[in-house]
Amino acid sequence: MIKFFRKIRQNLVMKNQTGKYFKYAIGEIVLVVIGILIALQINNWNEHQKAIKKEAEVIASLKQEITTNINDLEKTLKINETYLIKTDSLLEIINSDFKELPTSSTIARIFDYETLAIEIPELDNIIESNSELLIKRKNMISAFRDLKFTFNRIKESQLFLDEFWNSKVTSFFISCGIYLIPNQNQENIITLNEMIDNGYSIKQFKALVYAKQGLLKVWSIDQKIALQKSKEVLALLNNS
């Protein structure tokens, strides 16, 4: 093709047809520019298709991640609800005219809670990627950021529970001779006098139980919010 155009130019020069030569030269430049533009357009289209395919793969992974977290949240919430019920029952006993505490194993279970490990690598990646296609879906990016915020709240709430357990509950258990891990052979009843002899007044014990109840309620609320937002984001992805 290049030899063909070169031969035409040579013939025009040899015949001294300068006007036609310049017109031909301009036409050739126009054709080259058009060819470049077409090539760029094809390249852009290919890159766009690759971006669409990549985004589809990322969204599919994100759906799986959110589905897993929803299942974990539902499971953990169900277990922690039972701990809250047991805590409420213990508080009823404490606030009544009582002389004996429940068994050691019962107290140990009351202060327990189900931990939750939320992993969001796909959510983090999709937020940080700044995908051109996702940037155009501002409502989706906003929902992603909101969901990440709720997951961070859950981690903070669990951190408070962990610190409370490590600094307060374990000290109470050890002082009163309560096993940290309940077992079938641990059924001795702790009397109020035994608890007081070990440095804990009734008022302090109540404060300990109420603190655990409050922290667990806050944590459960954060989980419920995250569960609801996870389902909303999943529905948004399924309808996109």
Under the banding of pLDDT at 50, 70 and 90, the label for residue 180 is low
Residue 232 domain-assigned? yes
Residue 19 domain-assigned? no
Residue 204 domain-assigned? yes
Full-model pTM: 0.73
Under the banding of pLDDT at 50, 70 and 90, the label for residue 30 is low
Residue 220 domain-assigned? yes
Q: Where are the beta strands (DSSP E) in the chain?
A: 100-103, 189-191
Lowest mean pLDDT among 127-141, 142-156, 224-238: 127-141
- pLDDT tens-place string over residues 218-240: 999 999 999 999 999 999 888 87
Residue 51 domain-assigned? no
Could you give the number of structural domains in the chain? 1
In this predicted structure, the answer to whether residue 31 has a pLDDT above a threshold of 80 is no
- pLDDT tens-place string over residues 191-208: 777 788 888 888 888 899
State which residues form the domain around 119: 58-238
| DSSP tally for the chain: helices H, then strands E | 9, 2
Percent of the chain with pLDDT over 70: 75
More confident position, 220 or 105 = 220
Separation between Cα atoms, residue 226 and residue 240, nearest integer Å: 21
CA distances from 162 to 65, 131, 209 (A): 25, 37, 15
Under the banding of pLDDT at 50, 70 and 90, the label for residue 131 is low
- Residue 44, exposed/middle/buried by CB under 10 A (0-12, 13-18, 19+)? exposed
Number of neighbours of residue 193 by Cβ within 10 angstroms: 10
Under the banding of pLDDT at 50, 70 and 90, the label for residue 215 is very high
